[in-house]
Structure 1
Amino acid sequence: MDAAEDLTPAEKYARFRRRQAFPELRDFSDGYTFDFDEYQVEACQAVEGGAGVLVAAPTGAGKTIVGEFAVHLALAQGRKAFYTTPIKALSNQKYNDLVERHGIDKVGLLTGDSSINSDAPVVVMTTEVLRNMMYAGSSTLRGLGFVVMDEVHYLADRFRGPVWEEIIIGLPDSVQLVCLSATVSNAEEFGDWLAEVRGEMEVVVSERRPVPLYQHVLVGNRLMDLFADVAPTADLEDRATSYDVNPALVTIAKDEARTVRDDSRRPRGRSGKGKRTSRAGSDRYGGGAAREHQERSRYRPAHRAEVVRVLAHADLLPAIVFIFSRQGCDAAVRQLQAAHVHLTSPEEEAAILRIAQRHVAGFTDEDLRALGYELFLDGLLRGVAAHHAGVLPALKECVEECFEAGLIKVVFATETLALGINMPARSVLIEKLVKFNGEAHVDITPGEYTQLTGRAGRRGIDVEGHAVVVWQPGMDPRALAGLASKRTYPLRSAFRPTYNMAVNMLNRMPRNQVRTVLELSYAQFQTDRSVVGLARKLARTSGDYDDLAAQAACELGDFMEYARLRDEIHRIETAAAKQDRAVHRDESERLLTALRPGDILRVPSGRSQGWVVVIDNGHISAQEGPRPTVMSMDRQVRRLSLTDFPTLPETIGRVKVPKHFQSRDPSHRHSLAAAFKQRLDQLDSTPPHVRPMGSLPPAQREQIANLRDRLAAHPCHTCPDRELHARWAEKALRAERDARSLEHQVSRRTRSIAERFDKICTVLGSLGYLQAGEGDDLEVTAEGRTLAQIYSEDDLVVAESIRDGAFHGLSAPQLAGVLSVFTYEPRKGDENRPQRMPDLRSQEALDQIRQVARRIALVERDARLESDIDLPTGFARPAHDWCAGEPLADILDETDMSAGDFVRWARLVIDLADQVATAAGPGDLRESCHEVRHRMQRGVVEAVVALPDEDGDEDEDG
């Protein structure tokens, strides 16, 4: 029955008037078999009315309808529309959707991998592609009427988020912007900024899920409701203001806590594990212990195979099970295989096999063996699979297609899936509410919980979705209820100017205009709003000073004057000591920077104290200085920093470090340690003489003496209550300093983005990428135009390395290995495992690049610009070998890298080679870069159709 038949006469008339007022929306909606939700209608009307729109709605709520309407409107008006997405997989998916709706001749695709029909009136692309087109002044932008920014909340991403703001700020005023976002708690603030930057902007927020979501807890093998009444996410009327937790869960938590408490009081045997009970239970604690063990067993998490059976019995499949560990996801699939779990019919198996064969059609048998394809396919045919950044993209796409078709019943995934392509399920299960963030185990936030559970409930298939959390020891059901009922997901800007951004913008507009544009950023908008609170605090602090100064009043004279003399003496002495430490740091930094593999030195303090041999001269950080990697006498490999040297470092000799030394190989470390000890026995290993730090310069000694004379002559010096007054005066001076600091913060925050841009211009001017123009203007030099083509995070180091000739004379495999140091990011735990470069020539190139990086870091320090340049070598050998034609199996055998990670890093090396080729211009380097692409674009790397630009999953056991 048509939903329109349920409307009242007044509602039918209002609908008729609406359709008359918005004819394009009427024509567009007629192409769908369902009625649009009210928020979709409201947003589409705003677009047809000529306004931009921000749509914030839950996952699966159908907000892409508004983006598709913008495309429809562009075609109807004879204008262009760009549909942008954050990842290539989403771009490919959206391209297919729009081709199916509008025809292949009207839709194009532009990603880093693909260029299809780029002159079409509708082009789907990744956001980076649009940003680069804007900077290049591409003719494709002519006639552009609409830009859809799908998943716009990605602008909070630390690495890639600034691209969204660059586009929003830089698009012509004539372009209507349609921003689609997940539900964020500060949508109105974000909308206010969009309106300030883009003009008329409507904000449409919907928190109503299209499919109600019920919340459960899996206690042992019992599925229990989390809430006593309807869950907040399932209450479409949103009647209640508070939601009670299921009392049965509260009782379980109390029982569990009492069992643990009682057990902790039990008398312990010598082993500390409790007394052994007799078989008959004659021990006074025996029967109770057995009952408590049985009680605890009831609450213990069930085996994963049992969990799947519980979900299947409750008709909650297909399900996504979130495990915050790659290894955990892979292990879960193996556990289900070992438990002989089988969830598919023969017909489904046949369909899965056809899809899988299509996705691996270009792979050799050798590649498939290296990828463990047989084990992967076995799990797939059983209806289970893993999905994380370590899975080869082609296999991940296979999982996605099978799951979307309803063929796979259980996917074990890391949280990156929550931000990925459209892959909803009937239920979502979260094993633990704690994740490892690379440094510590932390609780997931309400926003993360909302993102993860948002995939439960397939619109048009399920009448309800289900979120399930596995009960863990010590769980607080009230805290879980707080996660499930809060919808706090604030959007925070990650925007900051970069070197590449600076030269590209200065290529298009004068310096003052660039500063004005940058101050329009969402980051500056949020900062300016925070200044209001600082100003209030400043007023309070100024009042505190007046009150405290009054308490310090002295009958003999102006005690605040006397206190300032004391404070000035302390300040000069402190500054002198700080200056002395700075001289010491500079000298230590120079000596550490000069270290080379094989140098022997003594670390005077810290956990690395003792004799060490340098195995890698490491990288330089603006905050920590040089970070050489060393091996101690007990074969421990660590990174040193300036904090390890309260005295100046001195080398006493050298020992030869083998050319292909691998610090992770115990035999390599053992051999070097033997040579190290033998060499140390030959040297004078008496600890080096400690060089004392200096004393005050004569001018400062004289200044302090004069101040002390003035202090002694001051009338307050003889006051019997001097120290009492001084305590109040010190508090007053502290308040005064706080007020000055707040004034500085207010001043700095109101122009923080522009100030960073000015510092960047100072660095670029010092290095010759910018030159003075007319008045206060700056002009981009030829070197600056080279930098404009480099979009790497280390853009300036890459550009300087091109200019310095660091890449010249390298073969294609050597160049691939060297370029990898700009793109590779080691996973947590791998940072302190330095790898040697593939050969001597590559090492020489890396040494030259490191010198370039140190030179830049010193210029940045002079400009007071924070910097942290790291050049990790962990992918250099795989990149070199792959480019040299080595088979995949050999490369994966030599590293602990997953196939998905290998392909991801290989693709990034290829992307950077393309940028360097463009930046370098005609010549040998460009030809070498093209050869890198030609040689690396093969096998599993070439087979990638849609590689997500995602961060690797953090893994507590990886």
Structure 2
Amino acid sequence: MTALLAEFGAGYDFELDDYQLTACGHLIDGRGVLVAAPTGAGKTVVGEFAVHLALSQGRKCFYTTPIKALSNQKYHDLVDRYGSDAVGLLTGDSTINGEAPVVVMTTEVLRNMIYAGSSTLANLGFVVMDEVHYLADRFRGAVWEEVIISLAPSVQLVALSATVSNAEEFGDWLSEVRGGVEVVVTERRPVPLYQHVMVGRRLLELFAGEDVNPELIRMAKDEARNQRDDSRRPRGRSGNGRRATSYGSGRYGGAAAKQHLEASRHLVPRRDATVERLAAEGLLPAIFFIFSRQGCDVAVVQLAASGIRLTNAVERHQLVEIAERHVGSLSPSDLDALGYDRFLAAFTDGIAAHHAGLLPAFKEAVEEAFSAGLVKVVFATETLALGINMPARSVVLERLVKYNGETHADITAGEFTQLTGRAGRRGIDVEGHAVVCWQPGLDPRAVAALASRRTYPLRSSFQPTYNMAVNLVATVGRERARGLLEQSFAQFQSDRSVVGLARTISLAKDKARAQWTQATCDQGDAEAYFRLRSQISAAEAEAARLRRADRRSETIEVLQGLQVGDIIDIPGRRHRGWGVVISEGLGPDGPSPVVLTVDRQTKRLGVTDFPEPPVVASHMKVPKHFDPRSTAFRRNLSSALEAKLRREPPELAGRSAQADAESMARVGELREEMRRHPVHRCPDREEHARYAETALRLERDAEAAQRQVERRTNTIAVRFDRVCSVLESLGYLSPDGGDRVTEQGRMLSRLYSELDLVTAEAVRDGVFADLDPAQLAAVVSSLVFEARGDRRNPARLPDRRSEIAQQRLRTIWRQVCLTERDHRLPSHAEPEIGFAESIHAWVSGAELAEVMYESDLTAGDFVRWARQVADALGQLAEASGPGVLRTTCRSAITAIRRGVVEAAPLED
């Protein structure tokens, strides 16, 4: 060990592990390093040695993290060790000593500095990329690859990752693009982890030696047998029409069956019983992972109501001090709106929740108290496992199923490893404990498989974006940018997978040929006949798709053009009626007018309400101050509508879109050709068809695999070319294929969001002009906000001017989508107005209690989205240049950053 490394190691209260010494040795030798190690294994030590090495060599070190909360934590850690003069912080929200020799920052900040050619990059010797496995994140992962590809060759890279099964592959790529990167992998946890299953009030070992605990297997078999026996019992209807269950058949009858069912339910442990057992075994503090924010909050309430108190008087006093320090900047009315008293009551009992919906000030108090050993039980969502350093003695998983955004799915081995990796605090615990709670249908062998597999593959999510393209072209030129993108990890992985796809194609074609042989017909060419049938099906499907698309497009166009007073036909389940438009509007799917029907009902209609475009039959006057809530107003206008319809009866002519004439004519020709074919008259035709359909399906599979091969051959570069084509067509890049970025392109280069191009087009079109700060915040929020689940109340915009701006914004989004379609690029999700009312009220000066009452959002969500809107407004201010829009953006930002938003600690 060198003297420098020995000096560094002396700063820790434990001896450095062999893998840490090996990785640090590579850095001393001037090489980069990828360190893949389990959660809690201490891989950040290698990153901290890079800081130490940079300071000793008189060079700079940037320490990057994926989220602001981690940056904030790492900043304080390094300040404690090296002093505030040597360490800075850059997160986009905060700048502290940005020219220091050591700067902690989010990865996005470093990416933006590289594109801007910042002078801060001078003398940069090391970049630490903590949690580098984030490059698999489908929304933000591209940033990591952008940085890795774009960093100067002289910079030594220190990549710190969770244990991944393809670390060597990732390391090979890093060596290819950076040169001289060593891979250091360890599976060893410094604190051993023991696996348990909580069954009822019993805490059982998952393993008995090398095998799964036989008692758990027996329990699972008994439960499955009871369920099978119960399913065999006849079920019928009782005399009152209700379903009756008979327990008289099967293995158990009557009372015995009920007892076995009850016993099965009793295997599922109660939360309070689990906490009591862990406390009795000395296994607190514990993190309970529950894959639902609401579930976490409910669990806190349940546990607090059970009477469990996990703290003594001294600890309660300390907890009150921590809580009050973190909420000291909040007003009494804000605390009341946030339910602070309820939070504090559970908190001082040693019980808390931790999730993205929690107010950041509360969450930070929980983190400090838990790290100090004062809070004993935290109910958390899985986001904690990816965030700050908050280990426990035990981790409890209540379920092994979570909602992944589309469906409820089993957690993966990688997720299990990440979650249970929190158990066991280095330097505090001699061992960690992972506990899985029994649930009906639990398979102990499956749990053992999860617990035994410590790795998961790292897959790139990299795709060129519009912002990335203009920045790269401006920085290095189009040709070199294309070459850089071809060096991405996504391209590296794609090229390696082509071999397997080629084999899939070959096998599918061989099987298809065998099926065509089976389909042979003595009446004629069966293959030609069945390919003709397939053509007809495809042509009919395409015609139907075009009809649907035409009807929707026409419906949107008609609804957008509606004016107050227009009389339109309203679809109904059994008949159609007439109504008069009393207000225009915008819903989550597009234009959404409100109409008054002849029977005095008001209805908000949207695109999905019209199977075919509505007919605008006539027009009538609607009072300027018409109030739809007033019975008298509705009665009078409805009577006027009826009188108008009697005087001028409108025609209820159908408006169904006719199929494209050419498409239908082609279908007719193909059908006639099919009927003339000799195989059409074969008595065994449908027998032949089964083989032919299988052959056609195999051919489609082969074609799909071939398209994957084509996409994966220079797939990233091809997408980059298409992105550049879009930018050329819209005037962001010079139209001659050269390297010139236009003035509009430079504006786009400052906009970092999923809807970057839509935002830039809106600036060019003047969508944001003439909006006041609150209206601007409301409209801009739709470019960053993502709704979670179903809303209790429909999303609305606060006023007419905001609605008009939002309609123009959606029109721009649709135009961008059409341009993307023309250039064979996927479109992005449309703007979402779910946060518009809340942020408008907040910028207008509303109190937190008022905003929370009207909103479906939690306090944490409100703060997070408010800060993201402020960040988007900051980008918009920089992109738009001097003028009224920049002034309005900055006024809106000032109005956002108050109260709970300003008091929030740095987060993602």
Q: Tell me the TM-score normalized by structure 1.
A: 0.84
Q: Residue 746 of structure 1 is aligned with which of 693, 709, 730?
A: 709
Which residue of structure 1 lines up, in the alignment, with residue 723 of structure 2?
A: 760
Is contact 1:630-1:639 (8 Å) kept?
A: no
Is contact 2:551-2:656 (8 Å) kept?
A: no
**Separation (CA, whole Å) in 2 of partners of 1:118 and 1:602:** 63
Check if 1:299 corresponds to 2:270. Answer: no
Task: Identify which range, 361-370 or 679-688, moves more after superposition.
Answer: 679-688
Which residue of structure 2 lines up, in the alignment, with residue 782 of structure 1?
A: 743
Counterparts of 1:452-531 in structure 2, within 5 Å, are 452-531=419-498
After superposition, the Cα gap between the structure-2 partners of 1:602 and 1:209, relative to the gap in structure 1 and judged at 3 Å, is farther
Is contact 1:655-1:676 (8 Å) kept?
A: no
Counterparts of 1:635-674 in structure 2, within 5 Å, are 640-641=607-608, 645=611, 647-651=612-616
Which residue of structure 2 lines up, in the alignment, with residue 237 of structure 1?
A: none
Task: Identify which range, 293-302 or 136-145, moves more after superposition.
Answer: 293-302
Q: Which amino acid aligns with 1:462?
A: D
Residue deviations 1:201-248, cap 9 Å, x none? 11111111111111111111111111112xxxxxxxxxxxxx422111
Which residue of structure 2 lines up, in the alignment, with residue 434 of structure 1?
A: 401
Counterparts of 1:146-157 in structure 2, within 5 Å, are 146-157=126-137
**Separation (CA, whole Å) in 2 of partners of 1:896 and 1:720:** 64
After superposition, the Cα gap between the structure-2 partners of 1:247 and 1:580, relative to the gap in structure 1 and judged at 3 Å, is closer
**How much does 1:869 deviate?**
3.5
Q: Which amino acid aligns with 1:316?
A: L
Which structure 2 segments of 5+ residues have no match?
none
After superposition, the Cα gap between the structure-2 partners of 1:604 and 1:136, relative to the gap in structure 1 and judged at 3 Å, is same
Check if 1:882 corresponds to 2:842. Answer: yes
Which residue of structure 1 lines up, in the alignment, with residue 212 of structure 2?
A: 245
**How much does 1:257 deviate?**
3.1
Q: Which amino acid aligns with 1:767?
A: L
**Separation (CA, whole Å) in 2 of partners of 1:834 and 1:937:** 27
Q: Which amino acid aligns with 1:908?
A: Q
Check if 1:69 corresponds to 2:49. Answer: yes
**How much does 1:25 deviate?**
2.2
Which residue of structure 2 lines up, in the alignment, with residue 194 of structure 1?
A: 174
Which residue of structure 2 lines up, in the alignment, with residue 952 of structure 1?
A: none
Is contact 1:817-1:842 (8 Å) kept?
A: yes
Q: Residue 546 of structure 2 is aligned with which of 582, 585, 597?
A: 582
Which residue of structure 2 lines up, in the alignment, with residue 10 of structure 1?
A: none
Q: Which amino acid aligns with 2:29?
A: G
**Separation (CA, whole Å) in 1 of partners of 2:407 and 2:790:** 12
**Separation (CA, whole Å) in 1 of partners of 2:268 and 2:687:** 62
Aligned-partner SS, 2:716: helix
**How much does 1:770 deviate?**
1.2
Which residue of structure 2 lines up, in the alignment, with residue 132 of structure 1?
A: 112
**How much does 1:113 deviate?**
1.8
Check if 1:689 corresponds to 2:669. Answer: no
Which residue of structure 2 lines up, in the alignment, with residue 52 of structure 1?
A: 32
Residue deviations 1:632-655, cap 9 Å, x none? 99999886459x73x555455789
**Separation (CA, whole Å) in 2 of partners of 1:428 and 1:582:** 54
After superposition, the Cα gap between the structure-2 partners of 1:175 and 1:56, relative to the gap in structure 1 and judged at 3 Å, is same
**Separation (CA, whole Å) in 2 of partners of 1:828 and 1:42:** 47
Which residue of structure 1 lines up, in the alignment, with residue 291 of structure 2?
A: 324
Is contact 2:59-2:101 (8 Å) kept?
A: yes
Is contact 1:838-1:876 (8 Å) kept?
A: yes
**Separation (CA, whole Å) in 2 of partners of 1:736 and 1:274:** 51
Which residue of structure 2 lines up, in the alignment, with residue 109 of structure 1?
A: 89
After superposition, the Cα gap between the structure-2 partners of 1:563 and 1:23, relative to the gap in structure 1 and judged at 3 Å, is same
Which structure 1 segments of 5+ residues have no match?
1-18, 230-242, 278-283, 621-625, 950-958
**How much does 1:538 deviate?**
2.8
Which residue of structure 2 lines up, in the alignment, with residue 3 of structure 1?
A: none
Which residue of structure 1 lines up, in the alignment, with residue 891 of structure 2?
A: 931
Residue deviations 1:847-902, cap 9 Å, x none? 22122212212211222211134222221111111111111111112223211111
After superposition, the Cα gap between the structure-2 partners of 1:661 and 1:882, relative to the gap in structure 1 and judged at 3 Å, is farther
Residue deviations 1:763-804, cap 9 Å, x none? 11111111134xx42421000100111112111111111111
After superposition, the Cα gap between the structure-2 partners of 1:201 and 1:607, relative to the gap in structure 1 and judged at 3 Å, is farther
Which residue of structure 1 lines up, in the alignment, with residue 755 of structure 2?
A: 794
Q: Which amino acid aligns with 1:932?
A: A
After superposition, the Cα gap between the structure-2 partners of 1:424 and 1:675, relative to the gap in structure 1 and judged at 3 Å, is farther
Q: Which amino acid aligns with 2:762?
A: S
**Separation (CA, whole Å) in 1 of partners of 2:460 and 2:637:** 50
After superposition, the Cα gap between the structure-2 partners of 1:508 and 1:151, relative to the gap in structure 1 and judged at 3 Å, is same
After superposition, the Cα gap between the structure-2 partners of 1:655 and 1:904, relative to the gap in structure 1 and judged at 3 Å, is farther
Which residue of structure 1 lines up, in the alignment, with residue 813 of structure 2?
A: 853
Is contact 2:64-2:105 (8 Å) kept?
A: yes
**How much does 1:692 deviate?**
6.3
Task: Identify which range, 726-735 or 742-751, moves more after superposition.
Answer: 726-735
Check if 1:920 corresponds to 2:880. Answer: yes
**How much does 1:751 deviate?**
1.9
Aligned-partner SS, 2:104: strand
Counterparts of 1:830-845 in structure 2, within 5 Å, are 830=791, 834-845=794-805
Check if 1:827 corresponds to 2:794. Answer: no
Is contact 1:593-1:617 (8 Å) kept?
A: no
Q: Which amino acid aligns with 1:124?
A: V
**How much does 1:265 deviate?**
5.4
**How much does 1:914 deviate?**
0.6
Aligned-residue RMSD, C-alpha: 3.9
Aligned-partner SS, 1:91: helix
**Separation (CA, whole Å) in 1 of partners of 2:310 and 2:188:** 33
Is contact 1:772-1:778 (8 Å) kept?
A: no
Q: Residue 146 of structure 2 is aligned with which of 166, 174, 191?
A: 166
After superposition, the Cα gap between the structure-2 partners of 1:726 and 1:194, relative to the gap in structure 1 and judged at 3 Å, is same
Which residue of structure 2 lines up, in the alignment, with residue 772 of structure 1?
A: 735
Q: Residue 370 of structure 1 is aligned with which of 327, 330, 337?
A: 337
**How much does 1:252 deviate?**
1.8
Is contact 2:729-2:735 (8 Å) kept?
A: no
**Separation (CA, whole Å) in 1 of partners of 2:635 and 2:349:** 53
**Separation (CA, whole Å) in 1 of partners of 2:409 and 2:680:** 55
Task: Identify which range, 388-397 or 835-844, moves more after superposition.
Answer: 835-844
Which residue of structure 2 lines up, in the alignment, with residue 592 of structure 1?
A: 556
Is contact 2:539-2:663 (8 Å) kept?
A: no
Residue deviations 1:479-520, cap 9 Å, x none? 222222222422111111111111111101222221111111
Q: Which amino acid aligns with 2:654?
A: H
Is contact 1:857-1:869 (8 Å) kept?
A: no
Q: Tell me the TM-score normalized by structure 2.
A: 0.89
Which residue of structure 1 lines up, in the alignment, with residue 322 of structure 2?
A: 355
**Separation (CA, whole Å) in 2 of partners of 1:608 and 1:328:** 45
Which residue of structure 1 lines up, in the alignment, with residue 906 of structure 2?
A: 946
Q: Which amino acid aligns with 1:807?
A: F
Q: Residue 856 of structure 2 is aligned with which of 871, 896, 916?
A: 896
**Separation (CA, whole Å) in 1 of partners of 2:79 and 2:174:** 30
Q: Which amino acid aligns with 1:815?
A: L
Check if 1:810 corresponds to 2:771. Answer: yes
After superposition, the Cα gap between the structure-2 partners of 1:661 and 1:252, relative to the gap in structure 1 and judged at 3 Å, is farther
Q: Which amino acid aligns with 1:512?
A: E
Task: Identify which range, 611-620 or 342-351, moves more after superposition.
Answer: 611-620
**Separation (CA, whole Å) in 2 of partners of 1:297 and 1:190:** 46
Q: Which amino acid aligns with 2:553?
A: E
Counterparts of 1:81-96 in structure 2, within 5 Å, are 81-96=61-76
Task: Identify which range, 890-899 or 168-177, moves more after superposition.
Answer: 890-899
